[in-house]
């Protein structure tokens, strides 16, 4: 296969490096089978590893790593690679090493370590063995070193100062060219020495500078442009770039999960609130319905009470009107009664009324009829009649009036005449009670008129008594009704 043309592999090239260094090196050296690499400052066997992808494609090499943690991981993951747990410096011997575990910031530069301490890290000072790059390359002078990578966190100048006499010339040298955690360029500190060793700068990626040995000018073309889609690679997910993306994805997933959980919790809380609100709404609806029902019942009762009060007021007005009518009628009756009592007829019929009352009293006392009682009157009745006859006989007008009154009652008329004839005191003919056949007292018209007047007066008295009793009953009933109405209201 032509030099400079990468091999065709069945597997997709997976990039593990921090800034696509492995992609650029593979573009230039992919055609080499079973190549060899030297990785100074190898750190993790997978994370940000420049050599991992090459190892997966059959390459082998040397890893220089002074950290106990990462040296152990490299031995475990790359048992067929050389792992040198030491530092590379400007001279052989021992060197201070400032270890910052679980980071790629460990260094042999005390100034860089102090800067990390100021930034909040806690460097752990220790002493580790070191050798020069000359001695390291002399170990592998019998073979081609296809690429050399130097990433020692600010100590790149010290590493390159130890490369003076070794005849080995890696095809490509990659050197980190910025101060740790910054974009401050450091190439001016060490690049002249590298150029003096026969290397030409061909590419910069912002973090590293790539140099090609003048012995392999054919490799320059591979660094004409940065990594792109035509390099046909994928991110393994183990690089800082991929890890940052994955970390961001994990953060987004965690944030999404937390948001989902919060939303679910909020949804459950809202559902509970909705259920409570529905229960409350149902209770409120029942309360409103009950309130409406009670209001309607109260309104109905109020309307019924209003109607009842209106009815009572109407009844009171009606009874008041009836009471006033009865009072007026009572006044009329009393006026009529007073006029009757004050009339001449009333005065003239007083004896007759007295006789009638006495007769009624006798009848109520057990006398079956007047005719049976006439032959043998009682002494009291006889005395009463005697005084009555004497009173009537004393005045001719009274005699005529009485004669007209008793004439229609022939048994009484006959009995009175006989009684008067037997008991009356002797007097002249002018004072005698007229005989039955007398023309003065036998006029039927006068007798009938007197009888009708007597009957009318008697009936009037009866009616007046009944009206008075009815009037008292009505007044009592109105009084009771008024009291009951006031209690009901």
Domain assignments of the chain as residue spans, ordered by start: 13-238, 344-488
Q: Are 89 and 95 in contact (CB under 8 A)?
A: yes
Residue 142: helix, strand or coil by DSSP?
Answer: coil
Element (H, E) at 199: strand 199-204
What proportion of the chain, given as a percentage, has pLDDT over 70? 75
Backbone torsions φ then ψ of 206, nearest 5 degrees? 95, -20
Question: 22-32 b/e with 16+ CB inside 10 Å = b?
Answer: bbbbbbbbbeb
Residues 160-164: contacts with CB within 8 Å, 24+ apart? 160/133, 160/190, 160/193, 160/194, 161/90, 161/190, 161/193, 162/88, 162/89, 162/90, 162/91, 162/131, 162/132, 162/133, 162/134, 162/135, 163/132, 163/133, 163/134, 163/137, 163/193, 163/197, 164/134
Band of the pLDDT at 177, cuts 50, 70, 90?
very high
Beta bridge partners of 211: 173, 201
Cβ-count burial of 362 within 10 angstroms (0-12 exposed, 13-18 middle, 19+ buried)? middle
Q: How far, in whole angstroms, is CA 261 from its chain's centroid? A: 24
Whole-number pLDDT of residue 443: 47
Locus of tokens 């949804």: 267
Average pLDDT of the segment spanning 191-203: 95
Band of the pLDDT at 1, cuts 50, 70, 90?
very low
Whole-number pLDDT of residue 439: 44
What proportion of the chain, given as a percentage, has pLDDT over 90? 42
Cβ-count burial of 201 within 10 angstroms (0-12 exposed, 13-18 middle, 19+ buried)? middle
Band of the pLDDT at 429, cuts 50, 70, 90?
very low
User: Distance from first CA to last CA of the chain, Å, rounded?
Assistant: 123
Question: How far is the CA of 476 from the CAs of 333, 465, 473, 488, in angstroms?
Answer: 19, 17, 5, 18
Locus of tokens 């690429």: 147
Band of the pLDDT at 442, cuts 50, 70, 90?
very low
The CA distance from 211 to 404, in Å, is 178
Whole-number pLDDT of residue 462: 78
> Which stretch of 46-55, 135-144, 237-246, 441-450 has the lowest confidence by average pLDDT?
441-450
Whole-number pLDDT of residue 90: 94
Scanning 162-203, the segments in alpha helix (DSSP H) are: 187-196
Band of the pLDDT at 6, cuts 50, 70, 90?
very low
CATH number of 13-238: 3.40.50
Q: Are 53 and 14 in contact (CB under 8 A)?
A: yes
The CA distance from 82 to 74, in Å, is 9
The CA distance from 188 to 195, in Å, is 11
Q: pTM of the full predicted structure?
A: 0.52
Question: 245-283 b/e with 16+ CB inside 10 Å = b?
Answer: eeeeeeeeeeeeeeeeeeeeeeeeeeeeeeeeeeeeeee
DSSP string, 401-414: HHHHHHTTSHHHHH
Q: Are 391 and 398 in contact (CB under 8 A)?
A: yes
Residue with the larger pLDDT of the pair 214 and 430: 214
The DSSP letter of residue 439 is T
Number of neighbouring beta carbons within 10 Å of residue 190: 19
Band of the pLDDT at 166, cuts 50, 70, 90?
confident
């Amino acid at each position: 296969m032509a030099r400079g043309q990468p091999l065709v592999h069945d597997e997709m090239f997976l990039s593990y490096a921090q800034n696509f260094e492995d992609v650029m090196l593979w573009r230039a050296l992919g055609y080499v089978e079973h190549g060899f690499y030297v990785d100074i400052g190898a750190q993790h066997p997978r994370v940000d590893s420049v050599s991992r992808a090459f190892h997966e494609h059959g390459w082998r090499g040397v890893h220089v790593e002074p950290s106990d943690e990462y040296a152990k991981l490299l031995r475990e993951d790359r048992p067929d690679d050389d792992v040198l747990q030491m530092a590379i410096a400007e001279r052989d011997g021992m060197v201070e090493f400032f270890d910052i575990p679980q980071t790629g910031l460990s260094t042999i530069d005390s100034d860089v370590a102090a800067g990390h301490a100021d930034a909040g890290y806690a460097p752990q000072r220790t002493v580790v063995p070191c050798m020069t790059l000359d001695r390291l390359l002399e170990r592998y002078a019998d073979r081609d070193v296809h690429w050399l990578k130097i990433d020692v966190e600010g100590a790149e100048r010290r590493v390159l100062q130890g490369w003076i006499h070794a005849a080995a010339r890696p095809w490509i040298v990659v050197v980190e060219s910025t101060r740790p955690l910054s974009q401050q360029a450091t190439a001016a500190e060490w690049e002249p020495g590298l150029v003096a060793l026969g290397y030409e700068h061909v590419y910069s990626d912002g973090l590293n500078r790539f140099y090609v040995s003048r012995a392999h000018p054919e490799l320059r073309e591979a660094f004409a442009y940065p990594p792109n889609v035509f390099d046909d690679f994928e991110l393994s997910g183990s690089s800082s770039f991929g890890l940052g993306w994955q970390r961001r994805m994990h953060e987004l997933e965690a944030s999404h999960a937390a948001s989902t959980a919060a939303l679910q919790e909020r949804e459950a809380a809202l559902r509970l609130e909705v259920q409570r609100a529905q229960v409350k709404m149902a209770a409120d609806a029942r309360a409103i319905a009950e309130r409406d029902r009670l209001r309607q019942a109260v309104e109905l009762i109020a309307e019924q009470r209003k109607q009842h009060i209106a009815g009572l007021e109407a009844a009171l007005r009606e009874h008041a009107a009836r009471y006033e009518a009865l009072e007026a009628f009572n006044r009329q009756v009393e006026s009529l009664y007073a006029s009757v009592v004050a009339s001449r007829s009333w005065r003239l019929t007083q004896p007759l009324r007295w006789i009638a009352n006495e007769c009624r009293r006798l009848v109520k006392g057990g006398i079956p009829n007047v005719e049976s009682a006439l032959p043998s009157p009682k002494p009291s009745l006889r005395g009463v009649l005697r005084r009555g006859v004497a009173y009537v006989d004393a005045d001719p007008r009274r005699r005529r009036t009485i004669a007209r009154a008793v004439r229609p009652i022939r048994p009484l008329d006959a009995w009175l005449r006989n009684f008067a004839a037997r008991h009356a005191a002797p007097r002249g003919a002018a004072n005698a009670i007229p005989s039955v056949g007398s023309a003065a007292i036998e006029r039927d018209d006068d007798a009938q008129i007197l009888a009708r007047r007597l009957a009318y007066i008697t009936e009037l008295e009866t009616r007046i008594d009944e009206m008075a009793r009815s009037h008292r009953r009505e007044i009592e009933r109105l009084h009771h009704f008024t009291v009951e109405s006031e209690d009901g209201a």
